[in-house]
Amino acid sequence: MHSLLLGSVLALILAGPAVAQGAFSPRDEQVEDLPAGAGRDETFGLCTACHGFKLVSSQGMSRQQWDSTLDWMTERHGMPAVEGADRNRILDYLAEHYPPRAPARAGGFKNPFAPQ
């Protein structure tokens, strides 16, 4: 009887991590890894509810593009809609720390006489 009970408890424990396998583990990333700034905690908390922050930080977008991304997350992926001051904080954070990286992406030749 005892061993049967122990057996099922063990099975439960072993089944736990197996279910989460392949899913994003919050332990992989820490909010402290992100550049410090207003809105960091909110942004990290909101976005990592579904996916790793790498998916976010590997992008570089304008504030307007981040704005549409938030809409897209809500409409397509069921993210709770974020409005008002919270949305502004998150957009400010994203736009400041993950801006478009066009020059790096375009790479190659840069006209030294082009106006800065």
Binding site for ligand HEC (CB under 6 A): 43, 46-47, 49-51, 55-56, 59, 69-70, 73, 77-79, 90
Residue among 29, 59, 66 nearest 45 (CA): 29
- Give the nearest distance from C-beta 27 to ligand HEC in angstroms: 18
Q: Which is nearer to ligand HEC, 22 or 107 (CB)?
A: 22
Q: Which is nearer to ligand HEC, 2 or 64 (CB)?
A: 64
- Give the nearest distance from C-beta 19 to ligand HEC in angstroms: 18
Buried b vs exposed e over 17-56: b needs ≥16 C-beta within 10 Å?
eeeeeeebeeeebeeeebeeeebbeebbebbbeeeebeeb
- Give the nearest distance from C-beta 62 to ligand HEC in angstroms: 13
- Give the nearest distance from C-beta 45 to ligand HEC in angstroms: 9
Residue among 35, 53, 55, 57 nearest 44 (CA): 53
Whole-angstrom distance, CA of residue 43 vs CA of residue 48: 8
Q: Which is nearer to ligand HEC, 7 or 72 (CB)?
A: 72
